[in-house]
Structure 1
């Protein structure tokens, strides 16, 4: 997937979550890449859709080793009791997965010493802290990005704000949607005209 395809998928994921939260008061509870279904009907406004929402209460609680590693917010003890804030955390991890090309459930980076699930937000934060931000991005994405580095960095900032360790530091889903719509000046969706708030840089996310 090139940058345009990933950016549109990120926008659709943000729209889906904002709709669930704001219009219906529903928590998704299981945001992860297998639950983001890509569409190939040529409609850029409907490039992807969130699936399997609000099903978490139907299942017994899973042991920590069996959970969707890397996507769940650190404060979430029982996956049957997700919150709006834990949904936003998972969305941030999904954005990071799109940007880095690394699956948080795979343990592909050895920061945890082998088979453990990758703590993708903390890995990204550690790389950015060393001022190696360019090393965060999927090299295939950089090659196909077509000069979209500023948009990629902007989505990285949104993702790190969503994946803050402290729940109260995370933006609401509607705020996330506004920020993602603004990336690229509306090239990937409807741009907002409201005053843009400051969420800081990736290094400002909670450690």
Structure 2
């Protein structure tokens, strides 16, 4: 696990910068207050367009408490097969990872407690590099916050350091995947091979 500066990430990873720029464009409203628009830190970047393919993947489960571990174990198998050793975790705009750090809800409070073991300041608006060694812990943290904390950044993106794919965990606990390999590596068949379902079914609603 390593802390990264967002602007340094945008400079070094051009496809990632384009990905975040695209999401920010979808939400940017110049009529909003400056305190909000200033968080759109990739909106003015000059970026290229890249071919993408998007699909959803879900780990079927009947136990929400075990769901994050089931997801991370299957992701680890996928990433090992395609030689992905680390990912960059970055919110779509410059928002605090600790968006509800004072929450008294047990699961949310525990997730922030675990995140604070890596970021003791309990405030952080940049990016995080996550290795496969740390994947289980960070998937559990982000899954909990994405599915239970309504203040947590909705699109907190996991981006392959080799810039071949990205995904985020939605409110249902499912994966929304963007492939940058023109269908040659990160494919539906790869995820099916590792027992993912290809839908966005809200199984815990």
TM-score category of the 2 structures, normalised to the smaller one: under 0.3
More helix by share: 1
- Normalising by structure 1, report the TM-score: 0.26
- Normalising by structure 2, report the TM-score: 0.26
More strand by share: 2
